């Protein structure tokens, strides 16, 4: 009886776990669809800004900007993670890759800076005692807004132009499809121009107030939009990873429930057999 009771309690607990993970799987699936749609709709906008910047620079080679020039200052790495857990190996794989990268490219932690986007990245950077640019975590809501990372973007861009920050690279999980993602490094500073820009694309521009100011604004837009697209990509990958993690958890819970139910039925059958044996033995004794 005691064994049956324990098994029954475990079955009920497993059913509750299944209900929770199944609900989270459905929520993550809905969020993934929205995030994927936002990413697909934003990519042409970012590409349009990039194309405008390339056109401006190609047709006006006399314009200069420090955001285009390399410098030898300490590099800055932007580490983009999730804010919450229940996401499988999404964050751990990224952090392991980043840690191995910094160890293989730098002899000491004071040779580079780290900017974090996402609570988990901030906690990881603090625990590793990196030189963190932001003093507080930059959390990212599911519906990503530019205001979530505007301060980090402006701080790093201004620092690079002033010569206080060196090469800036983003580390994030790139969305491939609903079943897979890829840890990716993407440089945002110095700004890289498209070497394959067509020579026949000649455009005449009228600048107001000046060439330099217009170019600087377009370059800033390109940096911000590139970072925004990267964060959208990482957020889409996050939702896909959580969806898969919750699906795997639901499948495991269902499998455990089936095994426990089978075990419970065996225990119940043994109990019935024992009781029948006792009744038969008692009847034979009376006769």
Question: Sorting pLDDT into bands at 50, 70 and 90, what band is 282?
Answer: low
Q: Residue 64: which CATH number? A: 3.40.1380.10
What is the share, in percent, of the chain residues with pLDDT greater than 90? 56
Residue 271 maps to a domain: no
Residue 40 maps to a domain: yes
Residue 171 maps to a domain: yes
d(CA 124, CA 108) in angstroms, rounded, equals: 17
Residue 272 maps to a domain: no
157/55: higher pLDDT: 157
**Number of domains the chain is built from:** 1
Residue 253 maps to a domain: no
Question: Sorting pLDDT into bands at 50, 70 and 90, what band is 285?
Answer: low
The residue length of the chain stands at 287
d(CA 3, CA 67) in angstroms, rounded, equals: 70
Residue 111 maps to a domain: yes
Task: Give pLDDT, residue 247.
Answer: 93
**Is the pLDDT score of 1 beyond 70?**
no
Burial class (CB in 10 A: 0-12, 13-18, 19+), 251: middle
Q: 155 and 173 in contact (C-beta within 8 Å)?
A: no
Give the number of other Cβ atoms within 10 Å of residue 84's Cβ: 12
Residue 76 maps to a domain: yes
Backbone conformation region of residue 141, classed left if phi is above 0, alpha if psi is from -120 to 50, else beta:
beta
Q: Which domain holds residue 152?
A: 23-245
d(CA 231, CA 14) in angstroms, rounded, equals: 35
Question: Sorting pLDDT into bands at 50, 70 and 90, what band is 60?
Answer: confident
Handedness of CA 237, 241, 242, 244 (dihedral sign): positive
Read off the pTM. 0.87
Residue 241 maps to a domain: yes
Task: Give pLDDT, residue 201.
Answer: 63
Long-range contacts of 269-276 (CB under 8 A, 24+ apart): 271/1, 271/4
- Over residues 179-205, the mean pLDDT reads 81
């Amino acid at each position: 009886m005691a064994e049956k009771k324990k098994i029954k309690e475990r079955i009920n607990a497993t059913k509750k776990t299944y209900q929770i993970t199944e609900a989270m799987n459905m929520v993550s699936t809905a969020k993934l669809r929205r995030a994927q749609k936002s990413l697909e709709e934003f990519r042409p906008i970012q590409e349009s800004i990039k194309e405008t910047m390339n056109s401006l620079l190609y047709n006006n080679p006399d314009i200069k900007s420090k955001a285009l020039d390399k410098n030898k200052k300490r590099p800055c790495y932007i580490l983009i993670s999730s804010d919450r857990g229940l996401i499988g190996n999404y964050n751990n794989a990224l952090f392991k890759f980043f840690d191995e990268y910094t160890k293989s490219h730098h002899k000491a932690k004071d040779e580079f800076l780290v900017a974090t986007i996402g609570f988990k990245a901030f906690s990881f950077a603090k625990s590793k005692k990196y030189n963190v640019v932001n003093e507080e975590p930059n959390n990212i809501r599911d519906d990503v807004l530019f205001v979530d990372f505007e301060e980090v973007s402006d701080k790093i861009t201004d620092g690079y132009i002033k010569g206080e920050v060196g090469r800036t690279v983003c580390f994030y999980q790139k969305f491939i499809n609903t079943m897979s993602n890829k840890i990716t490094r993407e440089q945002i500073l110095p700004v890289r121009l498209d070497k394959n820009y067509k020579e026949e694309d000649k455009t005449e521009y009228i600048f107001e107030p000046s060439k330099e100011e217009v170019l600087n604004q377009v370059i800033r837009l390109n940096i911000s939009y590139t970072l925004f697209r990267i964060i959208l990509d990482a957020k889409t990958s996050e939702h896909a990873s959580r969806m898969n993690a919750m699906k795997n958890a639901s499948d495991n819970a269902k499998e455990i429930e089936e095994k426990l139910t089978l075990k419970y039925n065996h225990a119940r059958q043994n109990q019935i057999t024992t009781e029948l044996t006792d009744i038969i033995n008692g009847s034979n004794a009376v006769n």
